[in-house]
Chain A
Amino acid sequence: MTTLLQSLLIAIRALRVNKMRALLTMLGIIIGIAAVIAMVAIGSGASKMISDQIASIGSNLLLVIPGSTTSGGLRTGAGGTPTLTFDDARAIKAECPSIGEVAPTVRGSAQVVFGNQNWSTIVIGCTPEMLAVRDWPLTSGRNLSPSDVDGATKVCLIGQTVAENLFGSADPVGKIVRIKKIPFTVIGMLEHKGQSPQGQDQDDVIFIPLTTAQRKVFGSQFPNSVGAMMVQAQSADVLKKAEDEVTALLDQRHRIGPSRERDFTVRNLSEILAVSEQSSKVMSLLLGAVASISLIVGGIGIMNIMLVSVTERTREIGIRMAIGAKQHDILLQFLTEAVLLTTCGGVIGMGVGVAGAMVVSKLMSWPTLISTQAIVIAFLFSAGVGVFFGFYPARKAAGLNPIDALRYE
């Protein structure tokens, strides 16, 4: 322990003698560590942004959408014909044990009018379960009720963007808006949700009872049919099971067999999440890999300077050996010096990296995540670079013959 402390003191002194050189040598490590820290912070910030957006859709969701149908040899595209019904939704809710809630929807766009303002928006017919499934609370008013759906009442929930455009800052609850000229009472206002992963404004929306949409607003040619169903599994663990249950049930209800093509699609939204998380992880990894290259370059710089230092101080090494320094004393001395260089560079680099990440997040309004894990790893890595690239010069110093070293001019 005392020898380690001693070699630390010797190393500090040796570095102080050549401050400028020490700083320049450290620069490689400073840049490398700063790049790693900043890149990882920005990368994980971006990945958090993506996963937040995806989580805003709702958690543990399956999306059931109508598939293609074939009639008279003509195949429609996916969702071309409304093959799903409200009864399908009820059946899923009743018969699939892994399912929490089911929210069948119909959607269309419509012109909405209030007073002398009007706005074109997405109108979604849905059931009260919609808010639970989408994890979407209200800021004021009340949710749709089962009786609204049963009685096809003319009430609606209004999104923030729509409210802003029609009402300005006034409270819309209790007001009457006209959707496709039909008067609707606003009974609640939805909380701000932000962009979807596709970049759409999720707040530009109006929710009305499913039955009202089917019978009065969109007047579907297939009564009782629904566009898409959002199915929430009871937990993330049973998501796959829920997917299988829903598929099996709908296969049975739609009489899907070898001779009949499946007329619906079940999509697992968590898969999308997993894929996008995967891709942002890969991005962070790539950024980190590029940054590590500069660390290696910095390490080679350290090795170079340490070799020069060993040559310059050959006589000093000779003196130390003559008066009793053993090989490992000399090895430790030069290794300590290299590690001190790289860890100092590492600490400075961390400061620069954190500052850089903060500047980027300010300028680009990107979130950045500075993890303590990344900092600890960067620190250990810089020390590791010191050991790795300092070992060869240190061993060269320790291997010198004391007689030759003493005679060295």
Chain B
Amino acid sequence: MTSAKSAKRIDDINNKNDRTNREGLRGWLNPIIYGWERVSYWFQRLTGIFLLVYFIGHVYETSSLVSGPDAWAAMLEMTQTIGGHIFLILVIGASTLHTVNGIRLIFTQSGQGLGKPGRPDYPYDPTSVNNKQRSGLWIAFILAAVAMLYGANVLFSGE
């Protein structure tokens, strides 16, 4: 290769904007290998985006109210279907997970429940990734499942 290209490559390396070997979005897509906190990060992002999309759709669908009872009925016909109910159950699960995990994150990101700095010793286990704060995530999953079951019961029984 020409020396000009190598020189440019060296300039790119010295340049802060070199994105070579950055994992990019692939770096977000491996939630498993680094532990429960990474799983929490992944789910918080996913549910957040999903709920934002739902929120926009919900504001739009409820605006059919202003067009009168016929428009409202047409909207209900579109959304009160089996697919609509399943979607709503997912929304219930996502919102419960996002909320409970979000509260856990508010505590952990304020330094609560992470332990105190000390003198690390072999095997150098970090105090911040402990089961006390992780249990918040597990509770979030359990509550989301319970909420989804309850939601399914309400939606499909119509009561």
- The reply to whether chain A is a binding partner of chain B is no
A-to-B contact residues, CB < 8 Å: none
B-to-A contact residues, CB < 8 Å: none
